[in-house]
Every structure is written in structure tokens, then in C-alpha cells.
Amino acid sequence: MTTAPTQVDDMIMPPVAHDVKIISIGMFVPGNQPVVWRGPMLHRALQQFLADVYWGDLDVLLLDLPPGTGDIAISIGQLLPTAEILVVTTPQQAAAEVAERAGSIALQTHQRVVGVVENMSWLELPDGTRHEIFGAGGGQIVADSLTRSIGAQVPLLGQIPLDTNLRIGGDSGQPVVLSDPTSPAAVALRGVARNLATRARGLSGRSLGLSPAGR
């Protein structure tokens, strides 16, 4: 995406791609410059993205958070206490342990873990066999462990295979679900979306409960 956000009065209008509105701190810094901020500045930026961006009437709001249990995860628990956590992991044990800790933050923030998604699950070879490059079972292990520790069912929502078209789409800005809808990754991603879409509550017609950060 090359379109920049625009400001209208006191609100920020987010760029739109494929009917999806998006905002990122990377849109406000030149080139590939890193953003080196401590907790209070991260909290303030997150608050502005939630309250000062004109999102309109949303079906769902997805926040792509860094791994672990850092400042941003804690801020989300404070700013959006009704938000639910979607844990993303890979099959390998080390990544699964980090993802499990991230999901366990729900015990402190009293949020609900909606499920687990396992990424880079396998590489499908031309003969149809699956090559499990990063091992197997990490997503299910995280889901089972969180189910035990939280005391509520945490399902494995889907396993996303390694797919060259998925990587190409990420670089070009063309989602694989549109560019190659029958590919294994696209089918798996639609399955995850379908599982999330069947949930009883959506954001349509509802307020996030936040006031503009500058007021």
C-alpha cells in the first residue's frame, strides 16, 4: 500500500485496500526508519490509532501485536478490555512456548482467547506429500495448554501452510485469497475467517468506547 493517511479536521482518515481500512506507525515515518519508543509513547500512539482514526462502521477490528507480553499487550487490556486475543504461533516448540505466554496474559487482563492459528505448518510438495519444516503440533499444543490454564475451550482455528503465492501477495499487496483463491494457504485462511465470522458479537453499530486522544 502506497496511499498515505489524510487528516480531516481532528480525525485521521485511514488508507483503504480491498475494502479493508489500515493504519500503521510505519505510515508516519520516512523510509524504513525504526521507531524506538518506550512504553508511554507506545501507549499514546495506540490510543490515537484507536480514537483519532475514523474507522467508521466496522465488522471487526484486528490489531497485529508484537509477540510476547510487552507494553502494547497490556495497553490493549486497558484501552479495550472487551477485546479478544487471537494467538498466532508456528509448529516449533520454542515459538509455541512464546505464544502460550502471550495467550496467558488473558488471565491478568480478563480477556477471552478466541483461538489459536498455526502459521508455516508445512510445505506441500509437488507429489502431494507434506514436508513439516518447522516440526508439527505446536498450534494444538498451545490450544490445549491454554484451555487447561484458562479453564475455557481454546480451539485451534486453522493451520496455514507455507505457500510461495502467500509471500508474493504479501510483498505486492494482493491478498492470496483474491489472487489464488484455491491455493492451500487461501483455503486455510478463509477457514480461519469463517470460524471468526460465526461469533455472536461483532463491532457493527457499536462504539469502541474511546474518546479522541487529544480531547
**For the segment 48-98, what is each residue's pLDDT rounded down to a tens digit?**
999 999 999 888 899 998 776 678 888 888 899 889 999 999 999 888 888
Quote the mean pLDDT of the chain.
87
Read off the pTM.
Answer: 0.85
pLDDT digits (tens, 9 = 90+) for 137-157: 999 999 999 999 999 999 999
Average pLDDT of the segment spanning 171-199: 92
Residue with the three cell numbers 481532528: 10
Q: Which residue has the higher pLDDT, 209 or 105?
A: 105
Output the pLDDT for position 54.
94
Average pLDDT of the segment spanning 115-130: 93
Pair 117, 146: CB distance under 8 Å: no
Cβ burial, residue 206 (10 Å; 0-12/13-18/19+): exposed
pLDDT at 213 over 60: no
All structural domains of the chain, each given as residue ranges with its CATH number in brackets, are 1-56 (no CATH), 62-197 (3.40.50.300)
Average pLDDT of the segment spanning 12-24: 93
> Phi and psi (nearest 5°) for 81?
-65, -20
